[in-house]
């Protein structure tokens, strides 16, 4: 018995195959096997197991009937949790149990498991779902020893669809066609985005060729149970979209934005053209008035000059030579001036008014500076596991965000920072448009092997704060490209935020 319990909670070395970064594989990381071992007088008198789903890094939801023996006989029944990956199994303790809803909450005494998100939106009949867990018939076919039951392994997945909702003994439940068996009890029923839509609890008998159906406790009941247990959890209510659908919506939204921008630019150009035309017309009117004034002035000067010349001739006839010279000279000068004024008259059509030259800054920043408030664009996002509250941020010209996190410029011109945490098995790629108009967060929910490789690469550069050192920035950029190389082609989640200038007081920490 001692050896068996030691085996239950000991380190177990396994080799897991690499997983694709799809949403079902991502939520599979949160699925665990729940084990009970009953002892009397040092002898094993019972062994049971079911499935569970992590609702926090240390707490697991399962069926009450899976752990009911531990609730009845706490001194004689040991609880254990076997994650789907890693090298360890862990002891656990019972936190809350509701036998009417057939739900229980247990806590790992050590270790951590990635937490799953619960879907809080409506479930339509016919929607595709996947059951995850450890069916007993698969165990019977593959297990060769007790160690196989406490060795981390990938949960079995079974696909089906939701038939309808029904009350089963007063509990709101989903009837579905995903195949489950004993051992799946307490495991999750998830949608195609990997969000929990129910907790599998029972199956129908398939007598005389009848088709089997399964029952999953709805998330309505799960939410009430967790609220009663004062257990926080991640809740997502947005509809499930495939990444292809999200990409198509993103392109459509970008096209719509481009059309709006083009229409706005066309309206601005039209307004500018009208303004130029009005200014041209005013300039032409002023030029014509100036030309006419010049011609009139030339005519006046010519008439006065002619009169002066005539007076000179008159004085000459009177043999008044002095006055004749004065009058003649004045007349000649006035006639000459009239000719000059007439010849230099302005053109009736003015030159187009010069446009104001835009200032050129030789040392313009490569990323927009200032305080920004970024709001989610749901029409351009694929939301699967994260909240979408507004993100305030302070951005410096060198890519320093919130005075603490250094971003590096990528090959596409965007400034990015790849975050690889030690505890959470999620890599986050945060990127900022150089204009400051768009902030994007992409999350990759990775298997243990890929996460280990990402952490090894991250350890190569120890930049912990903002810097203007070009060598440090180049090293950060190179490191981030190396991390990108080990990530899947597409993320599990993409959040696109639209940013605008905000007051300085709005700044708060962001990734």
Quick: pLDDT tens for 442-464: 999 999 899 999 999 988 877 77
In terms of Cβ atoms closer than 10 Å to its own Cβ (0-12, 13-18, 19+), residue 259 is exposed
Is residue 412 pLDDT above 90, yes or no? no
Is residue 10 pLDDT above 70, yes or no? no
Is residue 224 pLDDT above 70, yes or no? yes
User: What is the overall mean pLDDT for the chain?
Assistant: 84
Question: How far, CA to CA in Å, does 114 sit from each of 42, 111, 150, 162?
Answer: 34, 11, 19, 26
Mean pLDDT of 34-61: 90
pLDDT of residue 356: 56
* CB of 35 closer than 8 Å to CB of 146: no
Is residue 504 pLDDT above 90, yes or no? no
Mean pLDDT of 175-192: 95
Mean pLDDT of 267-294: 79
pLDDT of residue 103: 98
Nearest C-alpha neighbor of 432 from the set 478, 479, 396: 396
pLDDT of residue 362: 43
Nearest C-alpha neighbor of 67 from the set 59, 75, 77: 77
Quick: pLDDT tens for 97-115: 999 999 999 999 999 999 9
DSSP designation for 11: B
Q: How far apart are CA 418 and CA 439, in angstroms?
A: 14
Is residue 465 pLDDT above 70, yes or no? yes
pLDDT of residue 206: 64
Nearest C-alpha neighbor of 69 from the set 47, 89, 43: 47
Is residue 147 pLDDT above 90, yes or no? no
Q: How far apart are CA 257 and CA 180, in angstroms?
A: 47
Q: Which residue has the higher pLDDT, 261 or 300?
A: 300
Q: How far apart are CA 371 and CA 237, in angstroms?
A: 30
Is residue 292 pLDDT above 70, yes or no? yes
Under the banding of pLDDT at 50, 70 and 90, the label for residue 316 is: confident
Is residue 5 pLDDT above 50, yes or no? no
Is residue 387 pLDDT above 70, yes or no? yes
Q: To the nearest 5 percent, what fractions of the chain are helix, strand and coil?
A: 35, 30, 35
Residues of the chain with pLDDT > 90, as a percent, come to 49
pLDDT of residue 352: 63
Residues of the chain with pLDDT > 70, as a percent, come to 88
Tell if the pTM clears 0.85, that is, is over it: no
Q: How far apart are CA 479 and CA 459, in angstroms?
A: 9
* CB of 80 closer than 8 Å to CB of 89: yes
* CB of 155 closer than 8 Å to CB of 190: no
Q: Which residue has the higher pLDDT, 30 or 138?
A: 30
Name the most confidently modeled range: 113-117, 332-336, 412-416.
Answer: 113-117
Nearest C-alpha neighbor of 491 from the set 253, 251, 247: 247
pLDDT of residue 16: 36
Q: Report residue 358 as tokens.
A: 């835009």
């Amino acid at each position: 018995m001692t050896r068996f319990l030691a085996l239950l909670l000991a380190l177990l070395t396994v080799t897991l195959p690499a997983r694709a970064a799809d949403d079902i594989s991502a939520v599979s990381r949160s699925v665990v096997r729940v084990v009970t071992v009953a002892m009397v007088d040092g002898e094993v008198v019972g062994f049971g197991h079911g499935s569970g789903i992590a609702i926090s890094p240390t707490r697991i939801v399962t069926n009450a009937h899976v752990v009911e023996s531990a609730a009845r006989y706490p001194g004689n029944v040991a609880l254990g949790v076997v994650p789907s990956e890693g090298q360890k199994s862990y002891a656990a303790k019972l936190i809350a149990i509701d036998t009417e809803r057939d739900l229980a909450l247990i806590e790992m005494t050590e270790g951590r498991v990635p937490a799953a998100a619960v879907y809080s939106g409506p479930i339509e009949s016919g929607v595709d779902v996947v059951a995850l867990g450890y069916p007993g018939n698969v165990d019977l076919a593959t297990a060769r020893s007790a160690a196989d039951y406490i060795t981390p392994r990938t949960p079995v997945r079974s696909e089906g669809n939701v038939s309808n909702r029904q009350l089963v003994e007063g509990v709101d439940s989903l009837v579905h066609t995903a195949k489950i068996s004993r051992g799946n009890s307490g495991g999750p029923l998830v949608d195609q985005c990997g969000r929990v839509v129910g907790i599998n609890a029972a199956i129908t008998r398939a007598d005389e060729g009848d088709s089997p159906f399964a029952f999953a406790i709805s998330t309505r009941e799960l939410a009430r149970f967790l609220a009663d247990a004062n257990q926080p959890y991640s809740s997502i209510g947005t509809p499930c979209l495939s990444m292809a659908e999200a990409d198509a919506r993103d392109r459509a939204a970008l096209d719509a934005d481009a059309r709006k921008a083009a229409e706005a630019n066309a309206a601005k150009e039209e307004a500018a053209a009208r303004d130029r035309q009005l200014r041209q017309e005013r300039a032409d009117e002023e030029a014509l008035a100036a030309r006419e004034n010049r011609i009139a002035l030339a005519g006046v000067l010519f008439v006065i000059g002619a009169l002066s010349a005539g007076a000179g001739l008159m004085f000459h006839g009177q043999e008044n030579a002095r006055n004749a010279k004065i009058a003649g000279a004045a007349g000649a000068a006035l006639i000459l001036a009239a000719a000059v004024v007439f010849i230099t008259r302005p053109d009736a059509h003015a030159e187009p008014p010069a446009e104001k030259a835009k200032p050129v800054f030789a040392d313009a920043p490569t990323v927009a500076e200032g305080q920004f408030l970024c709001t989610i664009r749901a029409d351009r996002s694929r939301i699967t596991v994260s909240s979408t509250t507004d993100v305030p941020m302070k951005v410096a010209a060198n890519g320093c965000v919130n005075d603490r996190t250094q971003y590096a410029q990528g090959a596409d011109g965007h400034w990015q920072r790849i975050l690889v945490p030690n505890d959470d098995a999620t890599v986050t790629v945060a990127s900022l448009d150089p204009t400051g108009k768009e902030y994007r967060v992409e999350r990759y929910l990775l298997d243990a092997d890929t996460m280990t490789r990402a952490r090894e690469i991250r350890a190569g550069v120890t930049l912990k704060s903002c810097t203007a050192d070009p060598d440090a920035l180049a090293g950060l950029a190179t490191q981030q490209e190396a991390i990108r190389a080990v990530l899947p082609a597409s993320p599990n989640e993409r959040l696109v935020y639209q940013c605008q200038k905000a007051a300085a007081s709005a700044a708060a920490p962001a990734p």
